[in-house]
Amino acid sequence: MSSIPLSQLSALPTYASSSTSRLKSLYSDFTYQKHSNPTSYSSNVEWWRRTLESALVRGWLSQSHGSGATPDRIVLHATGVSFIEHFRVEGVGKPLSIPTVISELCSSKALIPLSDFLNATMSIYDPGWLPYRIASFVVGKPLWWALGQLGIVDTQDSTFGDSSTAERWKKVKGDYVVVSLLEGAAERIIERQRQKSTGNIADALYNLDSFREEFSSCVFEHGPLSDLDLKVMLKFLERDKRAIVVKGEVIKFVGDGLPGETEVTAVDSGILALKTAVEKLQKQVDSLQSRIDERTRTISEELRQKRKEIALIHLRSRKQLEEVRRKRVESLNLLESTLLRVETSAGDIEIMKSYESSTATLREILSHPLLKREKIDETMDALASANADAREVDDAIQMGSEMAQADAAIDDSELEAELQALVQDVEKEKADAAAQAQRERLEAGNLTAPAHTPATEETEPSAAHEKEKVAA
């Protein structure tokens, strides 16, 4: 088994962010760290989980890798000791702890053995699914070993403690469904179906070929699903997601927003047969048109080369193809019309079922005692009486409010006169205060006059003289 080129490994996010020393630690046998260094042990297991998933989804770990066949992208094939050759790195070596990683991922339900997954009757999300696995392992095998394989008891030391890499691979060799990749792919398929559905019943119906053609290439950007991947996917969508029902060759999407019942009916089978016939005829019409176009180009080329006889042969062939295409188009139109009528009729059935259900619901509601005529009249009379009482209360409150306002009414002219009187009182007080201040200043001046008596005596004649002048 050839190793993955280092250039490809380096493109994985886990390798791109890891140094050489880190890779040497990851490639070493860290099985014994589970008890001595559980933090480092968990980190290493998680690193390898992301690495295995990234390599698997790119198709690098499939048994058909490099053979030209479609590689598996959901199912991991742990083929044994040769499996580690995928990850050989020059200067680092081969990873020794991948068997330990696979065992841990099985214990955490990140990996599920392929046979267990396909044969289980209960959902992998059902709490009862684990006891089922225990029972299947216990039959014909020692109980303690079976419980250890399932991670129910801790037998790490006895299982992997002193065993060689080859012995460890014997215990984990097999095919496993990678749950995280399966869940992501299923969600993308359901979302694509939800987006493309137009509400017609035919949109929810597929056979295996049309399902592969519609969904195989939309789930992973790195490539389509293989036949084994599709088998696992259909089982998961039907049993665990309850998004489809499968009966024979009919695959039917069910669930919220999708038409139809939760089982495949004879009508579904008939519609799918018509849908498949229409698709096949459409492909024939397209193929015939391509051949006609090719004949047209050939005729033009032969005419340019002045080979009329050969051009005539191709022209005759084109006429025959055009006649066949015309008949196919007529058949296609007839089938499309039939399919449309069938879908319309089936849709009418669904509508009538909705009408019937709505009628039953409406009758159930109308039969309620509160909707009886006598009860309605009684309730409406009580409501009218209550409204009348409420109006009487409102009128009484309004009348009392108006009377209170009338008693408290005040004449505006009286308010104006009172305000004017207050203003006059304030002005009078200001005038009295100013006069008082003037008198105080005068009195203060008289009290200081005796200190200058001589000057006063000298001025008295002058004052008398002035009076004489005035008298004259």
Per DSSP, the residues of 428-449 read: HHHHHHHHHHHHHHHHHHHHHG
What is the amino acid identity at position 120? A
DSSP code for 93: B
**pLDDT per position as a tens digit, 108-154:** 899 999 999 999 888 888 876 654 444 444 444 444 445 455 554 44
Confidence (pTM): 0.66
Please indicate whether residue 101 or residue 6 has the higher confidence score (pLDDT).
101
**Residue 24 DSSP SS3:** helix
Average pLDDT over residues 361-383: 86
What is the amino acid identity at position 225? L
pLDDT for residue 402? 73
What is the C-alpha to C-alpha distance for residues 175 and 232, in angstroms, rounded to an integer? Answer: 12
Weakest-pLDDT range from 13-27, 236-250, 318-332, 353-367: 353-367
Average pLDDT over residues 152-175: 65
Average pLDDT over residues 384-397: 89
What is the C-alpha to C-alpha distance for residues 142 and 147, in angstroms, rounded to an integer? Answer: 9
| For residue 457, pLDDT beyond 60 | no
| For residue 322, pLDDT beyond 90 | yes
pLDDT above 90 coverage of the chain, percent: 36
- CB contact burial 55-89 (16+ within 10 A = b; e otherwise): bbbbbbbbeebeeeebbbbbbbbbbbbebbebbbb
| For residue 38, pLDDT beyond 60 | yes
What is the C-alpha to C-alpha distance for residues 103 and 172, in angstroms, rounded to an integer? Answer: 7
What is the C-alpha to C-alpha distance for residues 26 and 20, in angstroms, rounded to an integer? Answer: 10
Q: Which sign, positive or negative, has the C-alpha torsion 242, 248, 253, 255?
A: negative
Read off the pLDDT band of 165 (50, 70, 90): confident
pLDDT for residue 445? 75
